[in-house]
Amino acid sequence: MCLVEEGELVAVTGDGLREKELFRLGKGSLVGVAAVLDNEPNKHDIKAAIDSRLTIIGGAAIASLLKTAPIWFLAALKTLTSKTRLLREGFSKPLFADCLQSFARFLSLRYKGTPLSQKELLREYCWQTRASEDDARAVLRTLVRRNMIKISTEKGEDNPGIVIDQPELLVLLTEYISCTGSDKKFPPFELSQRECSFLEFLSLEEHQFTRDMNGWAQYLQVADPSASQEDVSRLYKMGIFRHDKEGNGLRLQGTALRHFLLAIHNETSISGLCI
């Protein structure tokens, strides 16, 4: 065990290029208390962040001190040390279990139409989520392979940018991961071929008409003579139609329609990421 008299120490895990900083210990900090009380080796490597001066407290001195300490004091010290260790371990763990889902969501929120600096983005993401840079880079490469994002070297290869042509694709990916993680079905991927053809036909609608359920059924019959009000009702439950403000009929919801079609057209890319 040792006392930091001057300077600052840093606890790290891993080695070499994969080394990750966990927490820092400043002047007045004791290092190795939990290891002494639990009679276990330190769980992390400790290094000097800057020039430091330490006072080493030998095993004999610690044993002598512990022998004279009241039992209640030892119990309290062990409890506090255990809680401190748990807090430090908690601070070093990623906030999100699924790096792919959290990184895709992060990208969709950060992208504003101009290339994002890859270095700055990775630094910000890792700082906010406590994810390792290796994990974030692995996800980045996966998204590039699936054509969900592109890497631009317009400003130089030393500072590549991230370009996202369709940010909504990343939103769909996060929704799909949420569904699979909770054993729920992802609605766009549960549609029949017939229902998909209805959506494709509706996407040709250039004007925002309001029709009753029978009127929309007749409209769909142009594409499929077997279309019925039951089909319109199912599309309504999916959010493709909504009652207009006056309640006089159903209005096509362009945003929901595009959302479903984008998912359908990119099913292989979205579902393939989560295999």
* pLDDT the model gives residue 157: 75
* pLDDT the model gives residue 68: 75
Domain at 82, CATH number: 2.60.120.10
pLDDT in tens, 81-120: 666 665 555 544 555 678 888 999 999 888 888 888 888 8
For the chain, which ranges sit under pLDDT 50? 91-92
Same domain, 77 and 32: yes
Domain for residue 169, yes or no? Answer: yes
Domain boundary among 92, 121, 144: 92
State the DSSP string of 65-133. Answer: HHHHS-HHHHHHHHHHHHHHHHHHHHHHS-S-S-HHHHHHHHHHHH--SSPEEHHHHHHHHHHHH---H
Domain boundary among 67, 92, 117: 92
* pLDDT the model gives residue 66: 67
Q: Domains in the chain: how many in total?
A: 3
* pLDDT the model gives residue 91: 47
Domain for residue 51, yes or no? Answer: yes
Same domain, 173 and 246: no
Domain for residue 210, yes or no? Answer: yes
* pLDDT the model gives residue 16: 59
Same domain, 76 and 11: yes
* pLDDT the model gives residue 261: 96
What is the domain extent for residue 143?
Answer: 99-180
* pLDDT the model gives residue 168: 92
